[in-house]
Amino acid sequence: MSLDLFITGTDTAVGKTWVTLGIMAALQTSGASAIGMKPVASGCRSTGAGFRNEDAERLLHQSSVPAPYDLVNPFAFAPAIAPHIAAAEIGRDISLAKIASCYRALTGLADHCVVEGVGGWLVPLTATETVADLARHLGLPVILVVGIRLGCLNHALLSVAGIRHGGNRLLGWVANHTEPDMARSEENILTLETRIDAPLLATIPWLSEPSVADFAGRLTIIERIFSQQRR
């Protein structure tokens, strides 16, 4: 049985993909196999094989085993806009059942499947469903990536409240500096530590040229958490 995670963020462009890659690499370093999934992606490029998303391709490249692209990213849209709008423009529905089917296929390939959400916690996927509904549908514990920048306190606390309200398990959160010179960043992180009833798993400094190794080296606690769950 695989032990899996759902990665969400306080916003778009807060480092969800880097954290997902780092968690996968940390698990792989510990001797486990891992595979990544990005069920829904916007801003994809057209290829002869269909639309392809750069972040999804990174997850596929980092995965311990090969997998069909369409399992890793079953819903890919060209415009870099909210996915429910992109889907409506081409008359396509995003199906949580379809995503769950792809997820189940991936879980049989590796010890861990790390699923990256799109945008933030309440980004709409359909007329009635959001990223929160997707995480609940898959039944996965959640890691919240907090982009450390002006406004992060409100964004993070609202996201945590939403995760708790929906009954999802918040496994922990990651503080990722998305700007090089945010004033009082340490004080902001301390404020969040005192108000979020879940552990701070890692603090990632501002990285002008981030790498998977940068994130993996700071996310080794993930393997210890999974080791405890295996017992």
pLDDT in tens, 191-212: 999 999 999 999 999 999 999 9
121 in a labelled binding site = no
Whether 157 is covered by a domain: the verdict is: yes
Over residues 138-142, mean pLDDT: 97
Give the pLDDT band (50/70/90) at residue 2: low
Over residues 55-65, mean pLDDT: 98
Whether 85 is covered by a domain: the verdict is: no
64 in a labelled binding site = no
Q: Is the per-residue pLDDT at 226 higher than 90?
A: no
Average pLDDT, the chain: 95
Worst-scoring range by mean pLDDT, 1-15, 117-131, 153-167?
A: 1-15
3 in a labelled binding site = no
Catalytic residues: 38
Whether 167 is covered by a domain: the verdict is: yes
CATH of the domain at 155: 3.40.50.300
177 in a labelled binding site = yes
Q: Which domain holds residue 126?
A: 5-38+96-230
Nearest to 174 by CA among 150, 135, 142: 142
pLDDT at 225: 76
> What distances in angstroms separate CA 17 from CA 32, 48, 100, 114, one per listed residue?
20, 25, 20, 10
Indicate the number of domains in the chain.
1
Over residues 164-181, mean pLDDT: 95
Q: At what angle do helices 185-195 and 152-165 cross, to 10 degrees?
A: 20
Whether 62 is covered by a domain: the verdict is: no
Residue 104 CA to residue 158 CA, distance in Å, equals 30
Whether 66 is covered by a domain: the verdict is: no
